[in-house]
Amino acid sequence: MGPIPALAPPAGTRRRDIVLVAGILAFFFACVTLMAWHETRSSEPAPKLGEDPPLTTHDRVKALAFLIVVSIPAVYLLGPVGRRVFVRVREPASPFRFLDIVLIVSASFLLLVALAGLVHSLLERFRVPELARIALYQVAQNLWQVAVWVLLPLVLLALRRSGPRAMGLLPDRWGRILLGAFLAWILFVPIFFLSSFSVETIHFLFGKEVEAQEILNRMRDRDEGGYWSFLICATLTACFVAPVVEEFFFRGVLYSSLRRRLRPLPAMAVSAFLFSLVHWPISTWPSIYILGLVLAYAYERSGSLAAPIALHALHNIAVMSYMLFLIFA
């Protein structure tokens, strides 16, 4: 399918696009603040700030200032890196229509309900440790995502006599694309730390701790039965399965479909917004949203899914490596 001609944006649209991107990020931080405030009204006692806090207020201000100073040039350099390193394989025009997204989402829901019921009924017949049970659910979820978010779009492409190149899956210059993904991730790291530290500081101001992701809480249960099967499954899922299936849908299908009607920045903002909502807890939304923006930008500049898949996998591998280090070191 050929590239879709871009419409000339009217004056001032870029400013409105930036306001939209920043507004969604502000909305996520407002959600985090509201959640932290709500937790202070719960019956659980909040940790007292005066009892050996990890960082003093002065230290936090210095850390935030440092991260801001580092993040500003990182944001500025993302543009030149994208323009000079990435090689445009194709325009990010999509062979998918809005009804295709409705079909994929509907199939996702139906298959998820069917698989969850099947796995639950099977596990009820056997005594399976809790972590092993979670690992089996994770395997079922992986099969569901591969079937609906990867195979179904490929089937739709085949029915329309398109191939993997219609989604930029077979680029010619892998080296430049992978180099661009690596450099984009390096620039994303300080921005990621800034958003994460800002969320942690908001909770600190309310006298609460940031809610840890469920996977981290489970990875700490080293003495529970089925631990190693769960750990292996979680690691493989986060590092290899999730980057492929999520990029297939959120960038290859959703973002490129949004580009039929929207300019790059609004399309990036909407796809990153929806990408954030499928992750939990709420405290991760600002960081995931920024990650979604960078992933969509990598796809926009390269036109190949190889770039966001590589960037996403690199980020998840780094995060999982850090989590494993905290647990076993």
DSSP 166-180: GGT-S-S-HHHHHHH
Please compute the mean of the pLDDT values over residues 40-54 and round it to a whole number: 51
Q: Is the peptide bond before 10 cis (omega within 30 degrees of 0)?
A: no
Render pLDDT for 287-316 as a digit per residue (tens, 0 to 9).
Answer: 999 999 999 999 988 888 889 999 999 999
Encoded tokens for 273 = 């917004």
Confidence of residue 177 (pLDDT cuts 50, 70, 90): confident
What are the residue ranges spanned by the domains of the chain?
A: 51-98+163-328
Q: Which amino acid is at 109?
A: F
CA atoms within 13 A on the CB side of 294: 31
Q: Are 263 and 9 in contact (CB under 8 A)?
A: yes
Tell me the pLDDT of the chain averaged across its residues. Answer: 83
Least confident interval from 30-34, 100-104, 188-192, 220-224? 220-224
Alpha-carbon gap, residue 206 to 309, rounded angstroms: 37
Confidence of residue 126 (pLDDT cuts 50, 70, 90): confident
Alpha-carbon gap, residue 167 to 89, rounded angstroms: 10
Q: Are 184 and 311 in contact (CB under 8 A)?
A: yes
Global pTM reads 0.89
CA 250 to chain centre: 9
Report the share of the chain in percent with pLDDT over 90: 35
Please compute the mean of the pLDDT values over residues 180-208 and round it to a whole number: 90
Render pLDDT for 53-88 as a digit per residue (tens, 0 to 9).
Answer: 566 777 888 888 999 999 999 988 888 888 888 766
Indicate whether 168 pLDDT > 80.
no
Indicate whether 217 pLDDT > 80.
no
Q: Please report the pLDDT score of residue 238 as a whole number.
A: 93
Q: Please report the pLDDT score of residue 216 as a whole number.
A: 74
User: Among 208, 202, 302, 205, which Cα is nearest to 251's?
Assistant: 302
Q: Are 311 and 180 in contact (CB under 8 A)?
A: no
Most confident of 30-44, 128-142, 171-185, 304-318: 304-318
